[in-house]
Structure 1
């Protein structure tokens, strides 16, 4: 699952993690991304210490057998964690889905946790790049799903998603225990407060939020990438 931050990505990981047949991995490349870029994120040192800083090792695990004896392996990837020049060959043979959200909603949410995000922080351009790479690699159009559609009708949207990727729908995907997931990344303490209180998907979203003049430029940059993928959404 290729997403950006504040995209309903954690709730989707919890949804798949609620299936008895599915292992999950929370942002596999985060430690490698921070180690390679030197960016200052909340909890940077802890994230690098807890994760795997070598992207080749991470990629091999992503392409390998699902852990814990599970049949399926849900990987919650942030698109911006992949850097220019990275080897994408590990992606062959895997099923790829792109989770999108209107950039105004992403920016309004992200700015609360880490101020003044840039286009590279929120992953829209990288999502489109990876989408095009997967499309070229597989010769088919990857699945795209909009978080707004999931929030509006979780059961219907998840049924469509499961059908699109050849996975039987499981009612267990609609709820999970409050308090987080055992496979949360160490960064959950900073980012996952709201979803830790949840036991299922929140209701339909309201009107688009005001993002403020300081984010207007980033919003204008992100919109074309979102709109391109939005027209492909199931």
Structure 2
């Protein structure tokens, strides 16, 4: 695939460095970005109670077939790269996944203890389905079956430990040039943020680059131990494919 036609689909769960990664690619200048294309369709189909649900549905496309058709379509603004920030949990049963064949699929992972600690501060009582680890593994396998090879995996812990090196390696794996501009972005909301940004993006709006390396795993409330235990095998399986692992 040439740079002139590349659509990069970055698949992650929530609270997974996904917005910072979107900002990094947007900062390149040669890359359009799309923030969680399936969010409105996911909420409309499931009726699940999320913060700002009505606003998200009103602002987005609720027909998953239309979203799926747009993902491998023409790049916005004529830019050579199109970065699509996707949430694995949005790909519920019944949503067609054939569009994955037209994308360069990458999987962004994070240790479930860190995900649960961050997510539970924004939305109480998360379930395994809410944090997307099972769905991430399923999508990884589907892409591998479609392409005949394991797709690219990158761990958010590695990115935060050394953003320049990790993004160099990621860009090399995608066969696109790395640019130093990926390491910095202006503080504040962005015009391409999704409608849900006022609830979820406070920390990244205060940032101008990637946060410092992560410390020890967080201490969690006892009721979340089982959730982390259930998610951990899915993280560990993809971790073995991570760049630099």
* Short-chain TM bin: over 0.9
Q: Does 1:230 align with 2:239?
A: yes
Aligned to 2:91: 82
The offset of 1:192, in angstroms, is 0.3
Equivalences for 1:53-202 in 2 at 5 Å? 53-202=62-211
Q: Post-superposition shift, 1:211?
A: 1.4
Do 2:65 and 2:95's aligned partners in 1 also have CA atoms closer than 8 Å?
no
Matched residue SS, 2:170: helix
SS in 1 for 2:187: coil
Q: Distance in 1 between matches of 2:166 and 2:77?
A: 28
Q: CA deviation digits over 1:14-63, x for unaligned, max 9?
A: 00010111000000000000000000000000000000000011111111
In structure 2, how many angstroms separate the alpha carbons of the residues matched to 1:203 and 1:43? 30
**Given the two structures, how large is their TM-score scaled by the length of structure 1?**
0.99
The gaps in structure 2 that reach 5 residues or longer are 1-9
Q: Cα deviations across residues 148-174 of structure 1 (Å, max 9, x unaligned)?
A: 000000000000000001111011100
Secondary structure of the 2:120 match is: helix
Name which of structure 1's ranges 77-86 and 36-45 shifts more when overlaid on structure 2. 77-86
Tell me by how many angstroms 1:93 deviates. Answer: 2.9
Distance in 1 of aligned mates of 2:136 and 2:153 = 11
1: CA distance, partners of 2:121 / 2:188: 21
How many residues in Structure 1 have an aligned counterpart in Structure 2? 234
Instruction: Give the counterpart of 1:210 among 199, 215, 219.
Output: 219
Unaligned runs of 5+ in 1: none
- Matched-pair contact (CA < 8 Å) for 2:35–2:192: yes
Q: Counterparts of 2:227 and 2:157 in 1: how far apart (Å)?
A: 20
The CA deviation at 1:85 is: 3.2
Root-mean-square deviation (CA, aligned residues, Å) is: 0.6
CA distance in 2, matches of 1:40, 1:100: 25
Distance 1:204 1:216 in 2: 24
Aligned partners of 2:194, 2:55: CA distance in 1, in Å?
10
2:7 paired with 1:17 = no
In 2, distance between residues paired with 1:167 and 1:118? 37
Q: Distance in 2 between matches of 1:167 and 1:106?
A: 29
Tell me, in whole angstroms, the C-alpha distance in 1 between the residues paired with 2:47 and 2:94. Answer: 17
For residues 85 and 52 of structure 1, what CA distance do their matches in structure 2 show?
A: 16
Partner Cα separation in structure 2 for residue 145 and residue 230 of structure 1? 8
